[in-house]
Structure 1
Amino acid sequence: MLDRFLPSPPAVVHDVGGARGAYALPLARAGYDVHLVDPWEPHVDAAAAASETQTAAPLGSVTLGDARGLPFDDHSADAVLLLGPLYHLVERDQRALALSEAHRVLRPGGVLLAAGISRFASTFDGLRSGAIADPTFAAVVENDVRTGVHRNPEPQSHPEWFTDAYFHRPDELHDELDVAGFGDIQILPVEGVGAFGIADDQLDDPARREAALQAIRRVESFPELVGASAHIMGIGRTARQQ
């Protein structure tokens, strides 16, 4: 998705909630001017240390900060990545602040890629793992589907049940981007129908992998299937003239 929607390097990318640099570091190596911000100091320290090791393509900056109040100037980026903040911000008004900030720092015609967790992700996970048979987890899943607010009542004994988060319906994510002022909005699945099962040897073979990817792309935009992906991506653009 980054290859498909990001402008060509050396575009400026703000990776908001970029953690240890899983996306920022390879994007910098690809020629982008990447500025990472994250709210947790150990992540920032790790990203800065990793940046120092790629001396030919370091990050433009690594900053401790919050998606709801970005340390960047207006119209300073060609692209903004929100590959985590929207599902870690449980309240809609807090997500709105993050989206407003992303819109503020984007240049005219800039692109946002904002990840969400599907409303139905815990259902999928519970069925796959067998945890759905646990009455406590089943109650979590029921609440997830009904409200979108995921709460782990036993984080110490069941860290695999994830942390507090918000799980979007695809139409909700579209609406949040729309209200924030983005246009040309697309909501696409991250895993897509590939999550239903692709053999590893199929992905290892280039020709078979490309055939699988073509099949996934063929149906990725069908609304009936988007929510069936554990993760979804909202793509939007700022107006060409602001």
Structure 2
Amino acid sequence: MFNSKKNMEEVLEYYNRGLEVDRLQCGIGKIEFERTKDIISRYLSKEKLVIYDIGGGAGAYSRWLAKLGHEVHLFDLSPKLIEIAREKSKNESENSIYKIELADARQINRPDGSADIVLLMGPLYHLTERRERLLALKEAKRVLKEDGVMIVAAITRFGSTLYGLSVYGEKNNLIEEDEFMKMIERELTDGQHIRPEKYPGFIARAYFHLPDELTNEITEVGLKHEKNIAVEGPVWIVPAFEEKWNFEDSRRRMLKIAKIVEEEKSIMGMSPHFVAIARKK
């Protein structure tokens, strides 16, 4: 049995340090952000929607959706990220986030069937026990309207391993470090990510999914699973990614490749993140 309280303390300490605030504006976070917005956009409409961004951090997706005219409710467990989200929202002259609240994904203070769309863009990363992930999914289902859309993000089982291999060379030898190898061996075995003390910048205690696992968790709570979509796909491995992203044509081509292969099961695990699309029956 895992120590859930200790895990959450580590997670909160990590996010309260503000390490994730600008992640989506740096490095491969840029393609994650653009691809995720593209995926979410497919389920938006011209009419004003009520959207719950559960575990939405400092509000990158919430601010974007609010600017599009939707009623966005942002929830997060980290007091620091909630504080940052409120400050950033104050700077918006119009269409700011409707509500910003401190909350646990397993207990959202909203009525049954009150949201058109629910985003779970982070909570399942850090609920390391299956029963806890099911509680978060059940709660998201509860607040979702009939036939409403839920978009659930997960980190792939192979993310750390692929990262270690992608930078392996003269300047970076993570693969040769025993602590890193022990960490990825555990991840590859059972999905449990336990960050060694040597790497304080790595994401805090987490669970890394296989695509079929997330599908099964979603269907177990009574949601209708529609599809899994690779977010970054294999594109993030481009050696000169940061440089190429700055050129419009190169960026367009990389995004096009990611979209073409987004549902290809044979390479789903190459994407650091993937999302599941589900509906409330």
Are 2:219 and 2:225, in contact at CA under 8 Å, matched by a contact in 1? no
Partner of 2:19: none
Residue of structure 2 equivalent to 1:56: 94
Code of the aligned partner of 1:185 = E
Q: Does 1:103 align with 2:141?
A: yes
List aligned pairs for 1:105-124, cutoff 5 A: 105-124=143-162
C-alpha separation in 2, matches of 1:84 and 1:42: 16
Structure 1 equivalent of residue 105 of structure 2: 67
Look up the equivalent residue of 1:232 and give its one-letter code. F
Match of 2:25 in 1: none
Match of 1:214 among 253, 256, 268: 256
- Does 1:189 find its partner at 2:252? no
Equivalent position amino acid for 2:223 in 1: F
Per the TM alignment, residue 115 of structure 1 is displaced from its structure 2 partner at its CA by 0.7
Mapped pair 1:177 → 2:218: yes
The CA deviation at 1:222 is: 1.3
**Letter paired with 1:189:** A
Alpha-carbon separation, structure 2, partners of 1:208 and 1:127? 24
CA contact (8 A) 2:166 2:237 kept: no
Task: Give how far 1:88 is off.
Answer: 0.9
Partner of 1:166: 207
Partner-residue secondary structure (3-state), 1:158: coil
Q: Is 2:117 aligned against 1:79? A: yes
Does the CA-based 8 Å contact 1:6-1:111 persist in structure 2?
no
| Equivalence map 1:5-154=2 (5 Å) | 5-129=43-167, 130-154=173-197
**Deviation digits for residues 84-122 of structure 1, max 9, x if unmatched?**
100111111110000001111111111111110100011
Range 128-137 or range 206-215, more displaced: 206-215
Root-mean-square deviation (CA, aligned residues, Å) is 1.7
Asked if structure 2 preserves the Cα contact closer than 8 Å seen for 1:19 and 1:44, the reply is yes
Distance 1:110 1:53, change over 3 A: same
In structure 2, give the amino acid aligned to 1:233: V
2:105 and 2:237 mapped to 1: Cα distance? Answer: 33
> What are the ranges of 5 or more consecutive residues in structure 1 without an aligned counterpart?
none
- Deviation for aligned residue 1:161: 3.0
Q: Distance in 2 between matches of 1:96 and 1:184?
A: 14
Count of matched residue pairs: 237
Say whether residues 1:225 and 2:267 are aligned partners. Answer: yes
Q: Distance in 2 between matches of 1:63 and 1:196?
A: 36
Q: 1:123 to 1:199 in 2, by over 3 A?
A: closer
Unaligned stretches of 5+ in structure 2? 1-38, 168-172
Q: Aligned equivalents of 1:146 and 1:133: distance in 2?
A: 19
Q: How big is the shift at 1:68?
A: 0.4
Contact in 1 for aligned 2:128/2:207 (Cα 8 Å): yes
Alignment-mate amino acid for residue 145 of structure 1 = L
The range that moved more, 192-201 or 110-119, is 192-201
My pick for the range that moved more, 48-57 or 10-19, is: 48-57
